[in-house]
Every structure is written in structure tokens, then in C-alpha cells.
A = this chain, B = another copy of it.
Amino acid sequence: MSAPLRGPDLPAMPPAFHELAERVNNWGRWGADDELGTLNLITDEVVRAAAATVRTGRRVPLALPLRHDGVQAGLIPGRVNPLHTMVQINQRLFGPGTVATSDDAVTMGLQAATHWDALPHVSHSGLLYNGRPADSVTAHEGARFSGIEKIPHVVSRGVLLDVARAHGLDRLPGDHAVTPEDLALAAEFGGVTVRAGDVVLIRTGQVRLYLAGDKNAYAMPSPGLSCRTPEWFHARDVAAVANDTLTFEIFPPEIENLWLPVHALHLVEMGMLQGQNWNLEELSTACGEERRHSFLLVAMPEPFTGATGTPVAPVAVF
């Protein structure tokens, strides 16, 4: 594909960003109408091979509890922790003598807890993945293109790159930008080779701060992906990436005034789902015990129509 179109009248991204973008851009790779991006890389064959890795039947859930005292500390306007309310409690809706029912309702930010970012969660230069206009996201419809309901399934081989453990740490320091070299080290540590269609989970250990009760420390400073990593994922045709931080990428950012470059590279340029606030602690232990860092991973989006993100309850099966 030729150089991607850029919207008018918007501040330009810096040259450093464009160099990275050109090397990872997937626009048009799966057709001009594609809304799935790198999830196209999860073929039936990939799924078959992923299921074939199951040996013990051990299951590890990766979602944090959805509760009012969740990971959000108020930094991002509108990204509210779940407010769970009971709308019925042991109510005999049909009169006396019958069984009683309890019902719940919730209000929450779709990106508040363990979640997937959908591709239109981020735009840059006025554009979304595959060159769609950013203003196709509206209050009325949400995202017209690549809304999370368009993602039919995320079932693939999961690979844990346990960067913290590979460095002999429980948790990376807050200013640690995870580099391609870190990813290679963690792959070697786990004895695993990243393949096309894999969902890669990157453990920094940062979520331990939240689990220990300090949601402000968890928020930032935070270790996270360097803007050099998208190219690493691109070279290996990774289908999706998730980690155990609030910000996903190193925060505050590496390059002054270039905010969220990894988001822009993954979601806009590559069309790759990314996940945040995944709890990889039990998984790290399990990988150690099972002596392997790959597994069947199922991480189904809730199909909110037009949504730019979704809570997800992923599970790894060994």
C-alpha cells in the first residue's frame, strides 16, 4: 500500500513516529474493508495447534475482580470503576409462594478494568485503522468501524513473556521501558518462540502494586512497552498483545510530548488489539510449575455494539 492518507488540519505526529509507523503499517493488508486487523492472523490452523498444547487441563483466570474499588484512581475522566447495584433482592415478582429472585445492574467504563482496547480506541492525525476517518466515532453510534462487536472471537495460543522474572525480579521498576531485547530475553527464559497468530502476554509485575492496595502507585510511574516493540510484534505477526499495567506502555513516555505512541502504532497502524490490567501473577506461577510459557488462551470480548473497548475475562488452559 502506498503512504497512508493523513487527515488535514491536525497537528502532525513527529518524524520519529512516522518512521516507526511506516515499518509496521498494515493498512490494506487484508483489504480496504477490513475491520479486524491482526486478528486475521488467527487461522483455524493456529487454533487447532493452540488446542493441541493442552496437556494437564489446568486453568488460570487472568481478570481482576470487577468492583467499585477497582484500578481506576480518577486520572482518566469518565473511566469509572464498576458501580454494582442490586435492582431486586429476593423479590417474589410473581406473588407469594414462589421462588424469589435477585438481579443486578452495573455502570462502568469499558476500559476501566481488565480489558481489550478495540482498534478505534485511538486515532492519530484524524485517522483510525485502515484509514477510516476518526470522526466515524460518534456519540450516537459509537465506533462505526472496528467496534468491539466486530471481533467474533479471540481464541489462540497464548505466550507469556515474563520480563520481570527473566530479569530475576518480582516487578520491573517504574521507569523500565520494555524493549525488544527484553522480549527476546523473556522468550528465551520461557523457552518459547513467538509465532504468527500468537497472543503475547507481557508480564512486568506492576499489577502487584494494585493487588497490594496501592492503586496510585500502580497507575504511574509505570513500566510498559517501548515504542520500539511494535516492530518486534509486527515482524512475528503477533495477533494481539496484553500486559499487567494501567498504561500499557512506559509512562511517562520515552519521547517528550509524544503521548501513547505504542497505542497509535498498535491500534491505528497495525490494527492490533491490545489489553491492559491483566493479572498475570498466577499465570507466572503456573508457567513456572508447568515448565512452559505457552498455553491455549481464550479472551472473548463482550460484544458491545460500537464500543471502543470491552471488559474481558481471559483464561489460560495448560
- Among listed A24-32, A161-169, A186-194, A306-314, interface-contacting one: A306-314
- In the bound assembly, the distance between CA atoms of A122 and B102 in angstroms comes to 6
Output the nearest chain B residue to A63 by Cβ-Cβ distance: B303
Tell me which of A105-113, A200-208, A236-244 binds B: A105-113
Asked whether A2 is an interface residue with its Cβ less than 8 Å from the other chain, the reply is no
Given known pairs A96-B11, A104-B111, A153-B61, the reply for A85 and B44 (CB within 8 Å) is no
With A77-B87, A109-B87, A298-B298 in contact, is A317–B103 under 8 Å at CB?
no
Q: How far is the CA of A311 from the CA of B124 in the complex (A)?
A: 32
A124 contacts B99, CB within 8 Å? Answer: yes
Q: How large is the interface on A (under 10, 10 to 19, 20 to 34, 35 or more residues)?
A: 35 or more
Q: Does A216 contact B (CB under 8 A)?
A: no
Of the candidates B52, B94, B153, which one forms a contact with A59 in the assembled complex, judged by CB atoms under 8 Å apart?
Answer: B153
> A87-103, CB under 8 A of B: which get 1 and which 0?
11111011111111111
CA of A76 to CA of B315 in the docked complex: distance in angstroms?
Answer: 32
Contact of A300 among B54, B76, B315 (CB under 8 A): B315
B104 touches A305 (CB 8 A): no
Q: Would you call B108 and A105 a contact (CB within 8 A)?
A: yes
B residues near A78, Cβ cutoff 8 Å: 68, 83, 85, 87-88, 103, 105, 140
Contacts of A306 in B (CB 8 A): 67, 84
B63 lies within 8 A of A56 (CB): no
Docked Cα-Cα span, A65 to B305, in Å, equals 6
The reply to whether B152 and A86 form a contact with Cβ atoms under 8 Å apart is: no
| Contact indicator A107/B105 (Cβ below 8 Å) | yes
Q: Using A152-B59, A317-B47 as known contacts, say yes or no to A261 and B91 having CB atoms under 8 A apart.
A: no
Residue among B56, B57, B68, B102 making CB contact with A137, cutoff 8 Å: B102
State A123–B100 Cα separation when bound (angstroms). 5
Give A33-86 interface residues, CB cut-off 8 Å to B: 43-49, 51-52, 54-59, 61, 63-68, 76-80, 82-86
4 smallest CB-CB distances across A and B, nearest first, come from A78-B87, A44-B57, A47-B57, A51-B54
- 18 residue pairs bridging A and B, Cβ less than 8 Å apart: A44-B56, A47-B59, A51-B54, A51-B317, A61-B152, A65-B305, A66-B303, A67-B149, A77-B87, A79-B105, A80-B80, A80-B105, A98-B257, A99-B122, A102-B308, A103-B110, A103-B121, A300-B300
Q: Given known contacts A102-B120, A102-B143, what 20 new A-B pairs fall within 8 Å (CB)?
A: A44-B57, A47-B57, A51-B296, A63-B303, A64-B303, A65-B304, A65-B305, A66-B304, A78-B85, A79-B105, A80-B105, A91-B140, A95-B257, A98-B260, A101-B123, A102-B121, A104-B142, A298-B315, A300-B300, A300-B314
Residues of A within 8 A of B (CB): 11-14, 43-49, 51-52, 54-59, 61, 63-68, 76-80, 82-91, 93-111, 120-124, 134-135, 137-140, 142-143, 149, 152-153, 155, 257-261, 263-264, 268, 296, 298, 300-309, 311, 313-315, 317
